[in-house]
Amino acid sequence: DGGITQSPKYLFRKEGQNVTLSCEQNLNHDAMYWYRQDPGQGLRLIYYSQIVNDFQKGDIAEGYSVSREKKESFPLTVTSAQKNPTAFYLCASSDDSSYNEQFFGPGTRLTVL
Amino acid sequence: RKEVEQDPGPFNVPEGATVAFNCTYSNSASQSFFWYRQDCRKEPKLLMSVYSSGNEDGRFTAQLNRASQYISLLIRDSKLSDSATYLCAVNGYTGRRALTFGSGTRLQVQP
């Protein structure tokens, strides 16, 4: 069954703690993305990676970090420098076609206590 | 001006009605256009890609108007199950393959 998995589904964190969100895909897609969604808003791009060992900042990268050591995996770390981390985090992937249809994982809902 | 703009709604329509949403985009170099459906507290799911010639999938029709820089989604014979938020997404293709999303239009189909 091909798809994108994210874990955990819900995550609670105390202020000042770093936390890592997992994203794995078995679609053999080259590109992977992290978006953040706040209530009643659209998705905002945090980081993206078009190929293994390479990634670029999106529109709201401050306070976040990523790695792309394997094609299948693109973990996101939310650091203590992120001032307002409570949000719904969505990982997506796409193949290398010019049309770039993106498919999403089920998301991780992060709450900072 | 936002890169991608949508009317947030909500659009409240009776079952069986036809409803249309528009989405405007600011980057005239945009190459790829999509409609996603998002249910409450779930991930967006790809509904349709929008091609230059327009495309239809059952009750859903998507159109692209490059001159006026908008895409549209038409839903015919609305079902209760169509109630969701519809997000448009645009790829500016300036070397960045990630999509830019609108804030979504909420549709509520009523019995």
- pLDDT for res A99: 65
Buried b (16+ CB within 10 A) or exposed e, B66-105: eeeebbbbebeebeeebbbbbbbbbbbeeeebbbbbbbbb
Q: How far is CA B36 from CA A12, A103, B8, in A?
A: 28, 10, 14
B:87-106 residues touching chain A, CB 8 A cutoff: 87, 89, 91, 96-104
pLDDT, one tens digit per residue, over A4-42 is 999 999 999 998 899 999 999 999 999 999 999 998 788
Q: B54 or A32: which carries more pLDDT confidence?
A: A32
pLDDT at B55 over 60: yes
Question: Which residue is closest to A91 within chain B, CA to CA?
Answer: B43
- pLDDT for res A21: 96
Rounded distance between C-alpha atoms, residue A107 and residue A84, angstroms: 18
- Sign of the alpha-carbon dihedral angle for B26, A57, A3, A71: positive
Question: And the tokens for B24?
Answer: 């405007």
Q: Across the interface, which of A48, A99, A106 has its CB nearest the CB of B98?
A: A48
Q: Across the interface, which of B42, B91, B101 has its CB nearest the CB of A43?
A: B101
Write down the mean pLDDT value for chain B.
92
Contact residues, chain B, for A74 at CB < 8 Å: none
- pLDDT for res A52: 93
Buried b (16+ CB within 10 A) or exposed e, A16-36: eeebebebbbeeebbbbbbbb
Q: How far is CA A42 from CA A27, A87, B10, in A?
A: 25, 12, 15
Lowest mean pLDDT among A47-61, A88-102, B72-86: A88-102
pLDDT at A96 over 80: no
Write down the mean pLDDT value for chain A.
92
- pLDDT for res B54: 87
